[in-house]
Amino acid sequence: MPARPEPSGLGELMVAAASREIRDGELVFVGMRLPMLAFVVAKRTHAPGAIGLYENGIIRETPAAELLYTMADPPNLLGATFCGQMLDVMGLLQQGRVDVGFLGAAEVDRFGNLNTTWGHREGKITRLPGSGGACDIACLSRRTVVLLEHDRKRLVERVAHITSPGFGSGDGWRRAQGLPARSGPSAVITTMGVLRFTSDGEAFLASIHPGVRVEDVLSRTDWTLRVADDLTETSAPTAAELAVMREIDPDRFWTKQR
């Protein structure tokens, strides 16, 4: 643990912000990529009692000892509490037991709907990897947290394709679809700030990252983004949070990317 940690990067800020969305003792559906690191940070700082569920069939009470490139890397199986089938963990998700699930996305819209299937570049349709477990998590977990780069092409008025439903077209939409009452997007953590959602399902800017100006956030959002009256600044990663990240991911494989 370095005495004077070097200044934290944006990736580290996002991982720290993501980790704070996990409350102690919660059941967490841990998604691919950055969230795997965020879960470890939460476990080793403020949420030692959190339990991680992985869509490939793993349940962990202890954080993995090494950096995970994928959720099926050997360090994530060794010392796991439970290893089983995908349906074992998806069943727990569908029962409504999962408190928070993490997702990445290519596009998110005004109502928190996600697209990770069909993109577009210079007017041409582009193929993205697809849902994975994202649609399931977005449908069935109580809270959903999304991480993505902040950019007009990614924060769009309306996604071209709903891979993972947010609040659809707004208030009451999820229930009308038949989705569980206690479910839906909770936060969108971008490279510029953190968006949260009003009771009618529309996203608003709740906090901005240090050194970011609100007008820049608005100009890089494809719709007229509402801003919270009590807009705060995203608090920087603590020394403890950075220490965990840099111990687990010394080469910044995940945190350098942004």
Binding residues vs other proteins (CB under 8 A): 27, 32, 51, 54-59, 61-62, 69-75, 77-87, 90-96, 117, 124-136, 138-140, 161-165, 168, 173-174, 177-180
* Rounded-to-integer distance, Cα 216 and Cα 155, Å: 13
Q: What angle do CA 104, 135, 194 make, to 5 degrees?
A: 35
* Shortest spacing between CB 207 and other proteins, in angstroms: 28
Tokens of 216: 């820049």
Looking at beta carbons only, is 90 or 212 nearer to other proteins?
90
- Give, in order, the Cα–Cα distances in Å from 183 to each of 9, 80, 93, 203: 32, 27, 11, 15
Looking at beta carbons only, is 144 or 163 nearer to other proteins?
163
* Rounded-to-integer distance, Cα 10 and Cα 226, Å: 23
Looking at beta carbons only, is 157 or 216 nearer to other proteins?
157
* Shortest spacing between CB 150 and other proteins, in angstroms: 18
* Shortest spacing between CB 234 and other proteins, in angstroms: 26
- Active-site residue, from 12, 21, 26, 55: 55
* Shortest spacing between CB 145 and other proteins, in angstroms: 18
Contact present, 11 and 254 (Cβ < 8 Å): yes
Nearest to 191 by CA among 237, 148, 245: 148
Looking at beta carbons only, is 17 or 137 nearer to other proteins?
137
* Rounded-to-integer distance, Cα 192 and Cα 7, Å: 17
* Shortest spacing between CB 88 and other proteins, in angstroms: 8
Q: Would you call 55 a catalytic residue per the annotation? A: yes
Looking at beta carbons only, is 12 or 26 nearer to other proteins?
26
* Rounded-to-integer distance, Cα 80 and Cα 207, Å: 35
Where would I find the H helices in 101-238?
134-140, 173-177, 214-219
**Radius of gyration from C-alpha coordinates of the chain:** 18
Residues with catalytic annotation? 55
